[in-house]
């Protein structure tokens, strides 16, 4: 199945939205493939998808999700408040509940299923309670506290307000809330039960208020979770997810956040050079000196992906290092479809490191298949806004 994706123009919709609208119309059985579930065409770009373009668009979609270009995810409240755990994690957006949003959540589930089936991880940083919900593990107050410490502290202070010397008479002077409304994960004030706006909060019913507020927060993402699980069910047997821990599911979908040089050494294959060659020695030393963030960029440069599977045996392609006959100290190139790095000769390791850093930070376009360019332009149909 060919997906034609536009990446040009201010009116161009996010890649996630363009692909989602096409994929959800397909038959589920057509997506259960071992390496990639669909083929990508980039309008006006000379890239023929032998796997690398598919991988790169998956990585792009993960970035769109976490940068807010697509509004399905929100930073954890702890991230906003800069307190507690999981400040670098995301939750499903409880306000994203239109039919279009739920379709997109379903597609996110399809992406997760494809990641499990193809063993090509997604670069997503979802909070532990999200993975628990996807595994149907009931949430507790501790799960909520791990993503929204201040709100749990607020609820506890209301529940035990008498410990602060607050009485029934002084309750409303100290508590700004006057009805059964509470804070959602995205910071909005919402009724925590139907008609909560017209139910007064009092000293005597504060215990029920806190129970209802917690119950609301533990279930406010249920619709989004259900849509994601529906999408996952297209690709993998969702009932079996309950046999997994949240951590196991996260590793199956997202792999390992650290890019291990030792793992790459285990799956490497050399072409036109051997591992004793100085060029190769310099390369491995350079990669070891990189920060993990730089190694993630390197992975994106050579494979289109930014994560490795949790299990080394699940790496389906060998990492190839190839020596090429080009002028000294040229920029390295790559073929993402073949997980291949092409190294020209270098005068020193320092120069190699500088060229490699430049390439991984600035040369991210997959546009080397120039013979495809005229075909893509000629075959492009419609405008950017059609997708």
DSSP 345: -
Neighbours of 336 (CB within 10 A): 23
CB 372 within 8 A of CB 46: yes
d(CA 270, CA 88): 37
What residues contact residue 354 under an 8 Å CB cut-off, 6+ apart? none
Q: Which of 62, 97, 337, 363 is catalytic?
A: 337
Specify the 3-state DSSP secondary structure of 209: helix
- What is the residue whose two structure tokens read 């799956």? 267
What residues contact residue 277 under an 8 Å CB cut-off, 6+ apart? 323
Furthest C-alpha separation in the chain? 85
Strand partners, 268: 319
DSSP3 helix / strand / coil % (the chain, rounded to 5): 50, 10, 40
Neighbours of 26 (CB within 10 A): 15
Q: Reply yes or no on whether 363 is catalytic.
A: no
d(CA 326, CA 303): 22
Q: Which among 133, 143, 124, 140 has a CA at the least distance from the CA of 251?
A: 124
CB 326 within 8 A of CB 293: no
d(CA 207, CA 62): 41
User: With the C-alpha atoms ordered 352, 355, 360, 366, is the resulting torsion angle positive or negative?
Assistant: negative
Q: Where in the sequence numbering do the catalytic residues fall?
A: 337
């Amino acid at each position: 199945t060919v997906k034609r994706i536009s990446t040009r123009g201010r009116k161009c919709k996010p890649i996630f939205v363009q692909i989602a609208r096409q994929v959800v119309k397909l038959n589920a059985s057509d997506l259960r493939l071992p390496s990639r579930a669909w083929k990508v065409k980039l309008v006006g770009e000379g890239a023929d998808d032998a796997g690398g373009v598919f991988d790169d668009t998956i990585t792009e979609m993960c970035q769109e999700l976490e940068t807010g270009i697509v509004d399905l995810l929100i930073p954890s409240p702890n991230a906003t408040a800069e307190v507690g755990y999981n400040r670098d994690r995301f939750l499903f957006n409880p306000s994203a509940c239109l039919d279009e949003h739920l379709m997109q959540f379903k597609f996110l589930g399809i992406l997760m299923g494809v990641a499990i089936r193809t063993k090509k991880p997604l670069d997503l940083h979802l909070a532990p309670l999200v993975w628990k919900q996807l595994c149907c593990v009931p949430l507790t107050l501790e799960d909520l506290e791990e993503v929204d410490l201040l709100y749990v502290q607020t609820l506890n202070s209301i529940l035990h307000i008498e410990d602060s010397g607050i009485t029934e008479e002084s309750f409303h002077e100290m508590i700004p809330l006057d009805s059964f409304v509470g804070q959602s994960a995205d910071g909005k004030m919402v009724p925590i039960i139907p008609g909560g706006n017209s139910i007064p909060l009092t000293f005597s019913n504060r215990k029920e208020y806190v129970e209802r507020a917690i119950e609301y927060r533990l279930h406010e993402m249920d619709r989004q979770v259900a849509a994601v699980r529906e999408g996952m069910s297209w690709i993998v047997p969702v009932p079996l997810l309950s046999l997994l821990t949240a951590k196991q599911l996260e590793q199956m979908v997202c792999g390992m956040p650290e890019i291990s040089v030792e793992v790459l050494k285990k799956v490497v294959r050399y072409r036109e050079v051997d591992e004793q060659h100085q060029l190769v020695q310099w390369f491995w030393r350079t990669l070891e000196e990189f920060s993990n963030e730089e190694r993630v960029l390197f992975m994106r440069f050579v494979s289109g992906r930014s994560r490795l599977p949790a299990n080394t045996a699940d790496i389906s392609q060998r990492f190839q290092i190839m020596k090429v006959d080009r002028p000294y100290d040229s920029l390295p190139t790559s073929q993402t479809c073949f997980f291949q790095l092409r190294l020209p000769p270098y005068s020193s390791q320092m120069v190699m490191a500088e060229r490699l850093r430049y390439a991984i930070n600035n040369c991210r376009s997959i546009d080397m298949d120039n013979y495809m360019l005229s075909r893509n332009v000629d075959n492009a149909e419609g405008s950017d806004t059609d997708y």
